[in-house]
Copies of this chain bind each other. A is one copy, B any other.
Amino acid sequence: MVTTMSDLYDSRTDRGTAIIARQDPVVYAGGAYAQALSAQQLASYESDGFLLIEDLFSAAEVQALLDEIQRMGKDPAILGGEEVITEPGSDALRSVFRVHELSPLLNKLARDPRLIHVARQILGSEVYIHQSRANMKPGFKGKEFYWHSDFETWHVEDGMPSMRALSCSLLLTENNACNGPLMLVPGSQRHFISCQGKTPENNYRSSLKKQEYGVPDPVSLQLLAEQGGIRAMTGGAGSVVFFDCNTMHGSNGNISPWPRANVFMVYNSVENRLSPPKYGLAPRPEHIAARRGNAALVPLDAPATVHAGD
């Protein structure tokens, strides 16, 4: 195993766990590349590592997206592909990947000014979709997603060079205290938690159901949570959470009868395209980590402002 000196964010090496200070900006180019968030929203994102904007999409828009994902979940052509992940221990739909290429409606969503201009503004460049997915977390039996930093996985398994990507989660159902909302640790984006353990080949096949590598240690998690607390992203359908690729997050299970359906779009800077994975690992498939489909996305032609009144 060869680890170069220049890897700022070493993880899954022979050494133990470590907390490494972030070397990259959270907001690039002073947030001046595009105009979408207000100065206050931008400062909040930079400080917390995330931003919740309520009611950004209308009920009709949300319903159309839900209908489309339900349709995709029953489409034999899509169900047969690698893009579909079922719940551990059942056939219930958990996630569909690469939705922005499988569906014209979701392709438009990826290029929607309310999302893409926020990504362009924060990342300070043009952007493309590194990964997109719909997470269904069905009622009664949705299992938890344990704590993780997306960047830790993307850096090791996908060769993403820097922390210059963000996720955007559009809530398609109400997220409340009962159905396992997304939980984020404010300020955690400033610390890279280097994890223990090596990564087996084809880890992604099981890690999307239950992650066993790249899992942060309890001591580091406790530290981050004591420093920043934990914020549950509860809100109505149509709300959107933007969060940095290194913000620590997870969610509890869902025994409520209500599904917790979200669409995720991961925007990556075109200046942060993927290198080879670490440690000689084989690249993960295109629907998990885009290498071919990484041309800059063209924003839809519509108003860019997502804040009102300032």
Residues on A facing B (Cβ under 8 Å): 139-140, 144, 146-147, 176-178, 180-181, 183, 218, 221-222, 225-226, 230, 232, 234, 250-258
Contact = CB atoms under 8 A, between A and B. Distances in A.
Nearest to A225: B257
A304 B146 CA distance: 44
Mostly helix, strand, loop or mixed at chain A's interface? loop
Given A146-B255, A177-B232, A178-B232, 9 more contacts: A147-B255, A177-B177, A180-B252, A222-B257, A225-B257, A230-B256, A252-B254, A252-B255, A253-B253
A181 B234 CA distance: 15
A177 B177 CA distance: 4
Nearest to A146: B255
Contacts of A253: 144, 252-253
A221 B252 contact: no
Top 8 nearest A-B pairs (CB, nearest first) are: A177-B177, A177-B232, A252-B252, A222-B257, A225-B257, A178-B230, A253-B253, A252-B253
16 contacts: A139-B222, A140-B221, A144-B255, A176-B177, A176-B232, A177-B232, A178-B183, A178-B232, A218-B257, A225-B256, A225-B257, A226-B257, A230-B256, A250-B255, A252-B255, A252-B256
Contacts of A147: 255
Contacts of A222: 139, 257
Nearest to A251: B255
A158 to B, nearest CB: 24
A140 B218 contact: yes
Contacts of A255: 144, 146-147, 183, 250-252
Contacts of A225: 256-258
A174 to B, nearest CB: 11
A252 B181 CA distance: 11
A85 to B, nearest CB: 19
A5 to B, nearest CB: 34
**Which of A139, A222, A251, A253 has the largest number of chain B CB atoms within 10 A?**
A253
A256 to B, nearest CB: 6
A135 to B, nearest CB: 16
Nearest to A230: B178
A62 to B, nearest CB: 20
Contacts of A180: 252
